[in-house]
Amino acid sequence: MAKRGIVYSLIAVLLMGLIILYALAYLNAVRTESEYIVSKARAEKLAYFTRSIEQDMPRIIEITASHAMVTAYYYAAAHGDMPDAQYTFINISKDGKAEGHEDDANIKEYMNNTLPHWITKMKNKGSNFGFNTEINVTYFNITLYDAFKLNFSLLLHVSAQSTNDESLKFSRFYYKDLIYSIDGLPDPLYYLKQETGWGAVIKNVTNPNASIYWIASPTAGKVNLTDAIQKSYYNKSMRGGSYFDRFEGKTILSDKYKNQVTGRPAIDPNWVGLESFVYIPDFEAKPTTIIKDNVTVIDTYYFLEADPLGYCVSSLPKWFIIDCSNATLYGIPCNHVVYCGSTTLACTCP
């Protein structure tokens, strides 16, 4: 009987041991599966967070570019010529600062659309996902792309590490280019000349996507000169100041900006400047503006102190005055360029 009791006791102990082992194994499996689920959730959050940065970069660089263009114009209107337009554009875009004028109302308003503001938002987003996040601007630049476009370039380094799992971390560089058109934006040159009365006229850059030439009707790659005058089209130029130059109050293309496009495929660095026709009727409608008589309406020269004399063109409005050199450049027949109020030819015909 005693032996049978011992046997039963041993069986009970063994069964209890098996139950305990099963329970431990079950608990360990549950814990392992739970840890796996938690780890997987954290990994998925990290993947989502990093994707959101990549997807957001095109948007933030476009917003940054748009607001930089507007703010730069406000800056020029308030403070005059920029000593270095490219440097000012970069500062406004990157830091919301413009040559020590960050207290300006327009600059302050723009602070919410700068890269540092976006970076802070993304770091807070990472923190909400449970990650310590660092985002650093490794490279940022704004250069001339061609006569009607600017190139915004941004390189970011992003690193993130889980606050609960040191093994879960991420490090990556992100690069984004944005080609930004200035078509439709204000030309600062007109406003900057307000010191002598010209600034009352505001003119927007209008890209005809073609060359302006004296032709009877538009053809492939060329637009009629008369249409260009009426629609205030701009023309790419090898003499006129680039968009950056114009913020500096310069009418002539500088080597600094010309060299930025040297070597760029399919873009001739000799033709990255801009020029327009000064539309005299707009000036006549502003009583505070100064009208320059008998001066070529090519803005590159009109806004110079040593401006060349111009002549009338038969079949074009009387206010349209042009010098002989530009008449040739725009294909105006020599026998159409005459002294104003006369039929006498003004230029030497071949």
Q: Could you tell me where the beta strands, DSSP code E, fall in 194-287?
A: 211-213, 222-224, 234-237, 273-276
| Domain annotation covers residue 39 | no
Pairwise CA distance, residues 191 & 241, whole Å: 15
Same structural domain, 147 and 228? no
| Domain annotation covers residue 323 | yes
| Domain annotation covers residue 10 | no
Same structural domain, 213 and 141? no
Query: Contact 272/212 with Cβ under 8 angstroms?
Result: no
Same structural domain, 78 and 99? yes
Same structural domain, 146 and 130? yes
| Domain annotation covers residue 282 | yes
| Domain annotation covers residue 326 | yes
| Domain annotation covers residue 114 | yes
Same structural domain, 117 and 242? no
Same structural domain, 177 and 202? no
In this prediction the pTM is 0.80
Amino acid in position 218: P
Same structural domain, 198 and 222? yes
Split into its structural domains, the chain has a count of: 2
Query: Contact 174/139 with Cβ under 8 angstroms?
Result: no
Phi, psi of 342 (to 5 degrees): -145, 170
Query: Contact 145/243 with Cβ under 8 angstroms?
Result: no
The model's pLDDT over 166-179, given as tens digits with 9 standing for 90+, comes to: 666 778 888 888 99
Measure Cα distances from 144 to 59, 93, 254, 285, 328 in Å: 21, 15, 12, 34, 28
Residue 275 predicted with pLDDT over 90? yes
Of 148, 181, 214, the residue that ends a domain is 181
Query: Contact 209/218 with Cβ under 8 angstroms?
Result: no
Same structural domain, 244 and 124? no
| Domain annotation covers residue 234 | yes
Other Cβ atoms within 10 Å of 327 Cβ, number: 22
Residue 23: what pLDDT? 45
| Domain annotation covers residue 290 | yes
Of 120, 147, 181, the residue that ends a domain is 181
Same structural domain, 177 and 194? no
The model's pLDDT over 198-208, given as tens digits with 9 standing for 90+, comes to: 446 788 999 99
**Closest C-alpha among 88, 94, 98, 109 to residue 248:** 88
Other Cβ atoms within 10 Å of 197 Cβ, number: 15
Same structural domain, 97 and 150? yes
Domain membership of residue 266 as a residue range? 188-338
Same structural domain, 101 and 119? yes
**Range of lowest pLDDT (154-168, 175-189, 225-239, 323-337):** 154-168
Residue 231 predicted with pLDDT over 60? yes
Q: Mapping DSSP to helix (H, G, I), strand (E, B) and coil, where does residue 169 land?
A: strand
